[in-house]
């Protein structure tokens, strides 16, 4: 049995901000042609970069696909169902994880200098990068919403192909492709159900 419905009063974040980020936010499938500016992308990153990652590793790397030439490189690598919506989005972000995140270790974790050396040649490096990159990808989606934009995250793409095309150095691995813009006509699918508190949370 579930308990009483939570109310916005139990949260410090203002109710309209709660709705913007969570309750009313949706994954967009169509977009208008209203542009997404470089300043908006910069503002999104300047917000989400403050969210935590393990040992402050910050492995997320982002390629903003804006030009028609870059879109032409990306579209063949998207799955069929994602190709049309990606073509129509004003901006698409490729979110990826840098498996050599430890190259920045001493700057990002200065009180444990030298700690990054243990990841050189280690099979644990990619797992660490992917986990924390995925964590940061979640923050990025919330940052897009905080900018008043809609995000359309997609995992349906040729990851090896995207890596070869956009990250040829071989050390950065794609995680997610996200269309970004203002929602267009019929942008939303029906809202799907969510698990209740008592189905997820156990207090011991």
Domain that holds residue 109: 40-185
Quickly state the pLDDT bin for 4 (edges 50, 70, 90).
low
**Alpha carbons 163 and 118: distance in angstroms, whole number:** 25
Write down the pLDDT at residue 58. 98
Examine residue 109 and state whether it is found in any structural domain, yes or no.
Answer: yes
**Span 112-125, mean pLDDT?**
97
Q: What is the pLDDT of residue 6?
A: 59
Residue 4 lies in a domain: no
> Could you report the per-residue pLDDT of 156-184, keeping only the tens digit for each?
999 999 999 999 999 999 999 999 999 99
Evaluate whether residue 102 is within a structural domain: yes
pTM metric for this prediction: 0.94
Q: Does some domain include residue 159?
A: yes
DSSP the chain: ---PPP-GGGSSS-HHHHIIIIIS--B-S-B-S----HHHHHHHHHHHTTS--GGG---EEEEEE-SHHHHHHHGGGB-HHHHHHHHHSSEEEEEEEETTGGGGHHHHSGGGTTGGGGGTT-THHHHHHHHHHHHHHHHHHHHHHHTT-EEEEE--B-HHHHHHHH-TTSSEEEEEEEEEE-B-TT--PPPPP---HHHH----
CATH of the domain at 57: 3.40.109.10
Question: What pairing do the DSSP bridges indicate for beta strands 150-154 and 60-65?
Answer: unpaired
Domain assignment present for residue 171? The answer is yes
In a domain, 2, yes or no: no
User: In the chain, what percentage of residues exceed pLDDT 70?
Assistant: 96
- Domain-located, residue 59: yes
Please determine, for residue 117, whether its predicted confidence score (pLDDT) is greater than 60: yes
Assign 1 a pLDDT band (cuts: 50, 70, 90): very low
47 in a domain, yes or no?
yes
* Number of compact structural domains in the chain: 1
């Amino acid at each position: 049995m579930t308990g009483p419905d939570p109310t916005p009063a139990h949260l410090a974040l203002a109710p309209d901000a709660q709705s913007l980020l969570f309750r009313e936010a949706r994954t967009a499938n169509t977009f208008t042609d209203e542009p997404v500016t470089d300043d908006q992308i910069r503002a999104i990153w300047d917000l989400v970069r403050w969210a935590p990652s393990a040992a402050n590793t910050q492995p997320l790397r982002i390629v903003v696909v804006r030009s028609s030439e870059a879109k032409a490189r990306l579209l063949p690598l998207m799955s069929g169902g994602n190709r049309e919506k990606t073509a129509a989005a004003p901006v698409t972000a490729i979110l990826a994880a840098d498996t050599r995140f430890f190259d920045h270790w001493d700057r990002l974790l200065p009180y444990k200098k030298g700690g990054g050396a243990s990841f050189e040649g280690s099979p644990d490096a990619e797992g660490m990068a992917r986990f924390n990159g995925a964590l940061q990808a979640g923050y990025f989606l919330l940052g897009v919403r905080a900018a008043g934009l809609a995000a359309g995250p997609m995992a349906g793409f040729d990851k090896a192909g995207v890596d070869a095309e956009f990250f040829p150095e071989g050390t950065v691995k794609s995680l997610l492709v996200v269309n970004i813009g203002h929602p267009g006509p019929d942008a939303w699918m029906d809202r799907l159900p969510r698990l209740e508190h008592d189905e997820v949370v156990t207090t011991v």
